Amino acid sequence: MSTSRPRIVVTGAASGIGRAVAEKLAQSSRLILTDINVEGLHAVAKQIEKQGGSVLHLPCDFAEEAQIRELVDTITSQEKLDGLVHAAGVGPSQATCEKILTINLLGTAILLEAMTGVTNPNAALVLISSQASYFAAEWLSSAALEILKNPLRDDFGERINKACEGHDLSLGTEAYGLAKMGVRVLAEEAAVRLGGQGIRVNTISPGIIDTPMVHHEAKHLEGMDAMTQITPLGRWGQPAEIAEAAAFLLSRAASFVTSADLLIDGGSTKPMLSLQRAMANTSSS
Ligand SMILES: NC(=O)c1ccc[n+]([C@@H]2O[C@H](COP(=O)([O-])OP(=O)(O)OC[C@H]3O[C@@H](n4cnc5c(N)ncnc54)[C@H](O)[C@@H]3O)[C@@H](O)[C@H]2O)c1
């Protein structure tokens, strides 16, 4: 095993975007893959090893704080990390709102906190947000955005509910958008905090990407066909297209990129926001 290759953690590596990222980085990095899906994780690790890649794989449930902290302790006990791509997450119709916030937002906050001090200088962290964060940004107040900076506070639930009054956070889509906006807020905070050490923190906001999550959402949410039709590129994205962007953000080619969000959506977010605003204006007039 070459020690000159960077040590990169990929979460959500058993499926979809995380899996594509692991496959993309397999030849250039020493990978640590994690996911709640032990069987899927094992299969991906086996396939990468077969192709000569170096993989450590450890299960972790991102709904469980102790497991996240234990994972980071275990993988950094001997050697620091050079990068992270955090893709583990659940979709708007895959879990209760509480679970969506716990996994997608609190899990990310705990991971970032646990990783403090265990990354090498010049490390790069990439968190997967969503185009849903842009839709949430339309209705989130500045007070709510401020509260999202500290999701691990004991009174976070109470404060965010109050700041989001008038919005039904029991709807999966609203909770998902809030959580994914929170991921961007956390990344921006971490970029400022860690910039002095040369550590870069960025997010990727995918539009519709052809993964098992999206196939699940397509069965449960209305409007996916309309979203595809409104997409300038006229199609869904592929996980490999997100993996290319993640590899860029991890690389020295992106050495001056931090606190940025890369919206990779085939162009769909802007026309969708215009449509939403037009519909809101019509219903209010
Ligand atoms: N597919 C899309 O269109 C799309 C769009 C925007 C954002 N995203 C985001 O991209 C990321 C990857 O999603 P995907 O589309 O590849 O979905 P996916 O379902 O294919 O992969 C998600 C992975 O996360 C894992 N996971 C779920 N809950 C977990 C938990 N509690 N602990 C650990 N691992 C857990 C799953 O086992 C799975 O392997 C997610 O954060 C998702 O919100 C996806």
Of residues 65, 58, 29, the one with CA closest to residue 42: 58
Task: Report whether residue 206 contacts ligand 1, using a CB cutoff of 6 Å.
Answer: yes
CA distance 147 to 144: 5
Assess whether pLDDT exceeds 80 at residue 3.
no
Taking only the tens place, the pLDDT of each residue in 174-227 is 999 999 999 999 999 999 999 999 999 999 999 999 999 999 988 887 788 888
**Rounded distance from Cα 86 to ligand 1 centre (Å):** 9
pLDDT recorded at residue 2: 43
Looking at the domain covering 7-221+234-265, what would its CATH class be? Answer: alpha beta
Q: Tell me the mean pLDDT in the region 236-260.
A: 98
Assess whether pLDDT exceeds 50 at residue 152.
yes
Task: Report whether residue 62 contacts ligand 1, using a CB cutoff of 6 Å.
Answer: yes
Taking only the tens place, the pLDDT of each residue in 101-145 is 999 999 999 999 999 999 999 999 999 999 999 999 999 999 999
**Rounded distance from Cα 87 to ligand 1 centre (Å):** 6
Name the 3-class secondary structure at 213: helix
Eight-class DSSP state of 137:
T
Atom of ligand 1 nearest to the CA of 89: 41
Backbone angles phi, psi at 7, to 5 degrees: -95, 115
Task: Report whether residue 20 contacts ligand 1, using a CB cutoff of 6 Å.
Answer: no
Structure pTM? 0.97
pLDDT band at 281 (very low <50, low <70, confident <90, very high): confident
CA distance 12 to 29: 17
pLDDT recorded at residue 1: 40
pLDDT recorded at residue 107: 98
Task: Report whether residue 254 contacts ligand 1, using a CB cutoff of 6 Å.
Answer: no
Task: State the chain's mean pLDDT as an integer.
Answer: 95
Q: Retrieve residue 46's tokens.
A: 């086996």
- Plot region of 213 (φ>0 → left; ψ -120 to 50 → alpha; else → beta): alpha
- Plot region of 199 (φ>0 → left; ψ -120 to 50 → alpha; else → beta): beta
Task: Report whether residue 14 contacts ligand 1, using a CB cutoff of 6 Å.
Answer: yes
Task: Report whether residue 18 contacts ligand 1, using a CB cutoff of 6 Å.
Answer: yes
pLDDT recorded at residue 276: 87
pLDDT recorded at residue 73: 98
Task: Report whether residue 12 contacts ligand 1, using a CB cutoff of 6 Å.
Answer: yes
Of residues 112, 108, 167, 157, the one with CA closest to residue 135: 167
C-alpha separations of 173 from 38, 90, 133, 142, 221 in Å: 27, 11, 10, 20, 9
Assess whether pLDDT exceeds 70 at residue 86.
yes
CA distance 217 to 135: 17
How many Cβ atoms sit within 10 Å of the Cβ of residue 278? Answer: 10
Residue 275 has, within 13 A of its CA and on its CB side, a CA count of: 12
- Please tell me the total number of residues recorded for the chain in this structure: 285
Q: What does the domain layout of the chain look like in residue ranges?
A: 7-221+234-265
Give the range among 42-46, 206-210, 219-223, 232-236 with minimum mean pLDDT.
219-223
C-alpha separations of 53 from 24, 31, 47, 265 in Å: 11, 8, 9, 30
**Rounded distance from Cα 278 to ligand 1 centre (Å):** 31
pLDDT recorded at residue 43: 98
